[in-house]
Amino acid sequence: MGNTCAWPVLRTTDLAEALTLAEKLLAIAFWYRPEACFLDAQARDDDVLRRLTGTLPGTSVGFYGEEGTALPANVSLRVSDLAQAGDALTAWAGITRCYVLWHDLKWPAIPELGLDEEYKYAELQIASNSHTIHCEEWAVEHTVFVHARPGHDARAAWLAAQVGARVVGPAEEGW
């Protein structure tokens, strides 16, 4: 068991730039399943819930409120490839804070840093309209996060450097 650690490697107001960086990072991954990706958002009112579920087919809703039938609700959507992830994230980013997460991948070994390949903690995320992985607070920027094993700051910096980026803030505990 254990949680990932997430390092921000880009903050930008340009969602296309965030998606481009994510595509480059996915190309570094030793292996990943494009369909092992999902989009997630919170709906705190009926209008946001209606707009999120009406935007894209296949969304699922889980309510957190009273007896599991009232708001707030978690709205999620499984996506099958990078293009669909980009389209879905763009649609939902216009409605609320949300994120897309690629969770079934492997970061490569980095022998010069003494790091083996990483599967258990390897994830990539774009948090839209937020600076945090859980999208708790609104921000005008979108943040790309590299998730890895806690303490692997060097892996996060190495991955970012491979795509011309750098770690741009402190790490936060993942999931």
157 alpha carbon, distance to own chain's centre: 17
Q: Which residue has the tokens 């839209």?
A: 128
Crossing angle for the helix pair 15-28 and 82-93, to the nearest 10 degrees: 150
Helix axis angle, 46-55 to 82-93, nearest 10°: 150
CA-CA distance, 91 to 94, in Å (whole number)?
Answer: 6
Domain total of the chain: 1
Residue-range definition of the domain harbouring residue 110: 5-173
| Per-residue pLDDT, 81 | 87
* Token output for 126: 């774009």
Per-residue pLDDT of the chain (175 residues; tens, 9 = 90+): 689 999 999 999 999 999 999 999 999 998 878 778 999 999 999 999 999 999 999 999 999 878 888 899 999 999 988 899 999 999 999 999 999 999 989 999 999 999 999 999 999 999 999 999 999 999 999 999 999 999 999 999 999 999 999 999 999 999 8
